[in-house]
A and B are shown apart, each in its own frame.
Chain A
Amino acid sequence: MLSIWRKDLALGPRSPVLLFAVVMPVLITLLVQGVFGSLFERPPRVGIVDLGDSAVTAAALELEELRTSRVADVETLQRLVTDHDLDAGLVLPAGFDAALRAGERPPLTLYVAGESRANDRAIVAITTIDLLRSVEGRAASIAVEVVAPGGEGVPLQVRLVPFIVLYALFAAGVFVTSFSFTEEREKRTIDALLASPLTMNEFLVAKGLFGGTLAAAMSLVTLALNGALVGQPVGLLLALAIGAVMAAMIGLLYGIAAPDTKVLFALVKTLSILVFAPALWYVFPEWPQWIAYVFPTYWLLNPIVEIGQQGAGLADVWWQLVIGAAICLALVPLLARLAQRVRAPVAA
């Protein structure tokens, strides 16, 4: 078994599937953190041409609610706003601050991109007025309390982390295991292996071990990349181990079911919806949560998310881990039985 594991480890890097399993979780993490964040939760982008070293510019650059940048001249600002590289642009003439503080109400031009959203325009306008009032030094005498009656929400990037972790687990645990198994079958190297003292069950364990180890490692890396290693390490490792075992077993089931890589590809494409479905309940927390319990993969994903991302302890999730382990145990006789179907033609 160890020999097969070592062989897979040595030859694995040549396989594009392994490359996919290692590279994709990292790529998806970068995409989700870098792209989705700015796609759905994007503050208005404002450019400022400051011709007089205004305090307004300095204050605007400090703001988190606007993405402010300095622009060299008015022509560049107009071009950037026209191309919608900026949502809006301000031109602050020389002596602007002095005029403001003297109460002279100097004129101010605001360029707005035609394709900018109406609410962004309103936000830019009101935030600009607030900045001007702070520089003017005549702030209104009112305290504002901000209350979130429904609780603070979770940003989309954070809600997508379970999906990425599940992907890391499955790219390695399911895809690598199943493709490795089917490849051996297609190239008939499995026949040679089973002609040796190796039994079918040992072969399955060796294949599962390789995919499972990789799955645990990649999901750990993915959790670390997404800053989701906040819970108990022992609990997390246990949850990852159970998750990796389940992923590898599902991979073996796929491998046994598919006579060749084409069928396996079709299986992966079509059944992935069921495998990845539980991750949707993290993205849409308002959906009834009990539906997610129906999917077996929920029981491997939720303990990892609760410990890694939400800081839960082993005491909080032990029963979920027991259900996950029970599903793995239930898969053992099913795998053993299905493996007979693979062994039969080989023996013949």
Chain B
Amino acid sequence: MSTRRTREFFARGAPTHAPSRAGIVAAIVRKDLTTFGRDRLWMILTPLALFMFIGIYWLMPPRVDETLVVGVHPPAMAAALKIAMGVAEGDPALTVVAFEDVEAMAAAVADADAVPEGVERPLVGISLPLDLLLRARLGQRATATVYVGTNLPEEVRSAMATAVREVAATAAGAPLPVDWTADDVIVLGTDRAGDQIAARERMRPLMAFVVLLTESLALASLVSVEVTQRTASALLASPARTVDVLLAKGLVGTLLAFSQGLILLLATRAFGPTWPVLLVAVLLGAMMMAGIGMLTGAAGHDFIGTLFYGMGFLLVLMVPAIGELFPGSAAAWVQVIPSYGLVEAMVGSSVYGLGFADLAMPLLAAAGWVVVVFMLGWWALGRKLVQT
């Protein structure tokens, strides 16, 4: 306490009435936030993690590249290739680049620097014989060459070889083996061809979780230090009751995690028309992390112990967020992980623009888990405080 404050304290005299519960909780919250602000480790790691994830988000491509760029020689065969692949004009699936020269096409496939100016780099180059049409009509065998780029997936290589065969079949006048019209291709679900959800949008919940969990580790570290250095015992010797300390810890943890999560989501422009849903999801996530922070802080005997308990939780809670990177619905066991509802709500709101009505179930499930985790953390820390 500074000299001025000491003078003021004695000038005021001893308090004549017991401080209110809210006042006690607020005082502990202030103390914890000050302690957090003085902790160089978390003051470095918190902005570092935020900066890193925001940087990664903006460095990642904003759209999914779902276009196959194919070079064709001779140029006259470009249209035949599109027909063979059943791709309509303007379809994002295929871009055909016509090459006058085979060597130039092969060089462009092999080396990005060899691509002529103003032309998209082909992943594949298809060289068809000039007399293909004639040979096909006469039933004579022809040879075509497919130039493939480094690391081209097997399915694309194979599809290109198939496309060449189909061009030859079309040239020979062979009809499609099935009666296949545009009506026979039925798109189920929202058609996102050409408008896919970018990987960075899918990664956002994962980033948010790591940021939230960093704050949970910070709270755990704070709690662990208080327990091991017996600051908690000193607090309980004051008018503060166990419940006040627990409430304050919960508030601090929620506040820290919520603010960091909010910064990340704001910086990555996650808030869309259904922003209140996302806000509720982040708040629930922050409360869950506060519960985990109390739990791990009470369980760990030292900094490393606390850290590793926290990492254990991190690995499990990250599973649903990692699952979002993959197409399709999550496995049943993933759906029972406490963070599943939060991730669903975050993705639903920020990516698909879903509202409360659509996301009621995941939000309710998340809220249920928040109560369970928070109560567990409260119980573990309360027990530890009583023991000390």
Contacts and interface: CB of A to CB of B under 8 A. Distances in A.
Interface of A: 15-17, 19-20, 35, 38-39, 41, 43-44, 63-66, 78, 81-87, 100, 105-123, 125-127, 129-130, 132-133, 135-136, 138-156, 179, 183, 260-263, 265-266, 269-270
B269 interface: no
Select the residue from A44, A119, A270 with max chain B CB neighbours within 10 A: A119
Nearest to A130: B162
Contacts of A123: 155-156, 159
Nearest to A88: B185
B146 A146 contact: yes
A270 B44 contact: yes
Nearest to A266: B41
Nearest to A96: B178
A17 to B, nearest CB: 6
* Consensus secondary structure, chain B interface: mixed
Contacts of A43: 153-155
Contacts of B193: 114, 116-118, 121
A129 B177 contact: yes
Contacts of B164: 142, 144
A169 to B, nearest CB: 20
Nearest to B140: A141
A135 B146 CA distance: 24
A228 to B, nearest CB: 19
A132 B197 CA distance: 33
B67 A119 contact: yes
Given A122-B86, A129-B162, A114 B307 contact: no
Select the residue from B136, B163, B165 with max chain A CB neighbours within 10 A: B165
A130 B160 CA distance: 11
Given A106-B179, A140-B166, A142-B144, A65 B109 contact: no
Interface string B128-144: 00001001100111111
Interface residues of B, number: 90
Interface in B297-339: 302-305, 307-308, 311, 322, 325-329
B110 interface: yes
Contact of A17 (B189, B304, B325): B304
7 contacts: A16-B304, A63-B158, A82-B188, A105-B175, A115-B196, A127-B158, A140-B166
A2 to B, nearest CB: 26
B4 interface: no
A139 B136 CA distance: 12
Contact of B169 (A85, A115, A133, A152): A133
Contacts of A269: 45, 48
A150 B150 CA distance: 6
B371 interface: no
Select the residue from A35, A110, A144 with max chain B CB neighbours within 10 A: A144
Select the residue from A66, A109, A117, A135 with max chain B CB neighbours within 10 A: A117
A328 B57 CA distance: 38
Nearest to A138: B174
A105 B64 CA distance: 36
Contacts of B303: 260-262, 265
Contacts of B139: 141
B159 A16 contact: no
Contacts of B109: 149-150
A148 B150 contact: yes
Interface stretch (B87-95, B229-237, B286-294, B342-350): B87-95
A116 B178 CA distance: 23
Given A107-B179, A144-B161, A148-B110, 20 more contacts: A83-B189, A106-B179, A108-B184, A111-B188, A113-B187, A116-B193, A118-B92, A119-B93, A122-B68, A130-B162, A133-B165, A133-B166, A133-B177, A141-B140, A142-B136, A142-B141, A142-B168, A145-B145, A153-B152, A265-B307
A153 B152 CA distance: 8
Contact of B110 (A105, A150, A270): A150
B191 interface: yes
Contacts of B141: 141-143
A263 B45 CA distance: 11
Contacts of B221: 262
Contacts of A125: 85-86, 185
Given A142-B141, A144-B146, A147-B147, A115 B166 contact: no
A132 B172 CA distance: 17
B189 A114 contact: yes
B144 A179 contact: no
Contact of B192 (A17, A110, A114, A127): A114
A126 B180 contact: no
